[in-house]
Amino acid sequence: MNTLEYSVDGRVARIELNRPERGNGVTLEMPRELAAAVEQADLDPGVHVIALSGRGKGFCGGYDLVESAEGRSAGPSDGTGSPLDRAVVARNHDPNGTWDSVVDYQMMSRNLRGFMSLFHANKPVVCKVQGFCVAGGTDMALCSDLLVIADDARIGYPPARVWGVPTSMLWAHKIGDQRAKRLLFTGDLITGAEALDWGLAIEAPAADELDSAFEALVQRIALVPVNQLVMMKTTLNQAAWAQGLAATQALGVVFDGVARHTPEGYAFQQRAAEVGFKQAVRERDDPFGGR
């Protein structure tokens, strides 16, 4: 695996995102490797619980979009390249070219299936967040069953301001429609302490106590027989399906593509090509005062 590491420690399967030099940014490869790791844990009768984490100073900074946003992605635009090439071209913002919305949909729906492997996993998934968990990184955090986040960490979906829509669309299921709308109508981030208060996280210890708190919860869940855990998770997950999660996610995947091909989306990409992706993001977020 190139984007994460998988290991088993007693009754715990550990999946650790391993691109710290890029903020554990999501690539097209990562969701597929994530799904493979989850399947490995599910098929291991000795594993009771899955521990998801990210190496480095933050859990995940979202999709690794620098090259795409700056128009530096390689690959032909005439439909003759590999499926990966065509998928990357579909994400790019060239108003003079043709956007293949179906290729875009195929790519993003496959990414969503990778993230949702955490939700569909037979075994419970506990996610640990330190530093930051933003944009596409929140898909993995919210697809997990339980979130343990440092009280000073930051979590949210800033691309809601321009250039993105959450594909997993679990915000309302996690924190209710009012708070979900509060976050997605502004793109604001909240702290780990606020995430605990809002019901998004189950624990929000101090940063220097995060590892021990996370490990204590994981090991406590690991004490329960696998059959009990599978029955509990399978039953509880039915609530989200009954509330229409599948339809909401289908819209999220479609609208994520649309969001990158609006007038504002094209303008954002053009600015990224001119001054760099990070500067364009700073300019996008400055009016919101750092939140």
CA 1, distance to chain mean position in Å, is: 18
Report the pLDDT value the prediction gives residue 45, as an integer from 0 to 100.
97
Rg (CA), the chain: 19
Q: In the 8-state DSSP scheme, what is residue 63? A: B
What's the pTM? 0.93
Phi, psi of 290, rounded to the nearest 5 degrees: 85, 0
Mean of pLDDT values over 141-160: 98
Of the candidates 1, 109, 12, 11, the one whose C-alpha atom is nearest the C-alpha of residue 52 is 12
Tokens of 117: 């492997």
Determine contact, residues 41/13, Cβ cutoff 8 Å. Answer: yes
Report the pLDDT value the prediction gives residue 85, as an integer from 0 to 100.
52
Determine contact, residues 269/71, Cβ cutoff 8 Å. Answer: yes
Residue 154: strand, helix, or coil: strand
Report the pLDDT value the prediction gives residue 290, as an integer from 0 to 100.
78
How sure is the predictor about 241, in pLDDT bands with cuts at 50, 70 and 90? Answer: very high
Residue 78 confidence (pLDDT) above 70: no
Report the pLDDT value the prediction gives residue 68, as an integer from 0 to 100.
63
**What are the strands, taking DSSP E only, across 150-276?**
154-156, 189-191
Separation between Cα atoms, residue 98 and residue 89, nearest integer Å: 10
Tokens of 171: 């915000």
Separation between Cα atoms, residue 210 and residue 207, nearest integer Å: 5
Determine contact, residues 107/87, Cβ cutoff 8 Å. Answer: yes
State which H helix or E strand residue 39 sits in.
Answer: helix 29-43
Report the pLDDT value the prediction gives residue 202, as an integer from 0 to 100.
98
Mean of pLDDT values over 238-266: 95
Separation between Cα atoms, residue 133 and residue 167, nearest integer Å: 15
4-288 fold: 2-enoyl-CoA Hydratase; Chain A, domain 1 (3.90.226)
How far apart are the two ends of the chain, measured CA to CA in Å? Answer: 34
How sure is the predictor about 77, in pLDDT bands with cuts at 50, 70 and 90? Answer: very low
How sure is the predictor about 95, in pLDDT bands with cuts at 50, 70 and 90? Answer: confident
* Averaged pLDDT score across all residues of the chain: 92
How sure is the predictor about 90, in pLDDT bands with cuts at 50, 70 and 90? Answer: low
Tokens of 115: 């993230």
Of the candidates 171, 164, 93, 177, the one whose C-alpha atom is nearest the C-alpha of residue 135 is 164
Determine contact, residues 157/190, Cβ cutoff 8 Å. Answer: no
Mean of pLDDT values over 108-117: 97
Separation between Cα atoms, residue 199 and residue 180, nearest integer Å: 11
